[in-house]
Amino acid sequence: MNADKLQKLQAQVRIGGKGTPRRKVKKTVNKAGSGDDRKLSAALTKLNVQPIAGVDEVNMFKDDGKVIHFANPRVSAAANANTFAIHGRSTEKELAELIPGILNQLGPDSMAALKKLAESFQQAQGGEAAGADDDEIPDLVESFDKAEVEDKAEATEEKKEESA
């Protein structure tokens, strides 16, 4: 076949057009929330939580030195149930990353309290390393039951001496 003839045939081939069935494109519907969100919101409505406006960020400090950080969370609270609910995307960050932002938010009174806390933390860390706090911790007794019996016996002897 000739290349010109092939191009003419390709131009004549119609995909779609008059007489072909049309296909509708299905619209995708985004779900408002998953099942867990519905269960959570139902539980929170039972507690009569009220939304708290004006919360820009929430930080939760963990024992391992990391912080769970929520930026622009939705916060709800029920004072009578002592319950707070925090909704939003969270990221786990190191404490060192968030300290500059936290320090900017603190006032002079809070800064003084934070310095005292840091000093006590350093002293506690230094005391454990040097073994200075060992004097304050009593030695453990082999059996707690024996120690309890001995304490009761001493208490009865003291009462006898007082009454005599």
User: In CATH, what number is assigned to the domain containing residue 76?
Assistant: 2.20.70.30
In sequence order, which residues have a C-beta less than 8 Å from that of residue 98 and are 6 or more positions away? 59, 67, 69
Residue 10 lies in a domain: no
pTM over 0.75: no
Query: At 61, phi and psi to the nearest 5?
Result: -90, 130
pLDDT digits 0-9 by tens, 21-60: 666 677 777 665 566 778 888 888 888 899 999 999 998 8
Residue 24 lies in a domain: no
Six token digits for residue 123: 């002293």
For residue 86, list its beta bridge partners. 75
Instruction: Give me the number of domains the chain comprises.
Output: 1
Residue 146 lies in a domain: no
Higher pLDDT, 130 or 122: 122
Mean pLDDT of the chain: 77
Residue 116 lies in a domain: yes
Q: Is the pLDDT score of 118 beyond 80?
A: no
pLDDT digits 0-9 by tens, 152-161: 777 788 777 7
Q: Is the pLDDT score of 11 beyond 70?
A: yes
Residue 107 lies in a domain: yes
pLDDT digits 0-9 by tens, 84-107: 899 889 999 987 787 777 777 777
Higher pLDDT, 54 or 124: 54
pLDDT bin (cut points 50, 70, 90) of residue 135 is: low
In sequence order, which residues have a C-beta less than 8 Å from that of residue 70 and are 6 or more positions away? 57, 58, 59, 60, 86, 88, 89, 90
Residue 160 lies in a domain: no
Percent of the chain residues topping a pLDDT of 70: 73
In sequence order, which residues have a C-beta less than 8 Å from that of residue 69 and are 6 or more positions away? 57, 58, 59, 90, 91, 92, 93, 98
Boundaries of domain holding 68: 46-121
Q: Picking from 37-46, 60-69, 137-146, 151-160, which range would have the lowest pLDDT averaged per residue? A: 137-146
Closest CA to 93 of 73, 64, 72: 64
Residue 139 lies in a domain: no
Residue 30 lies in a domain: no
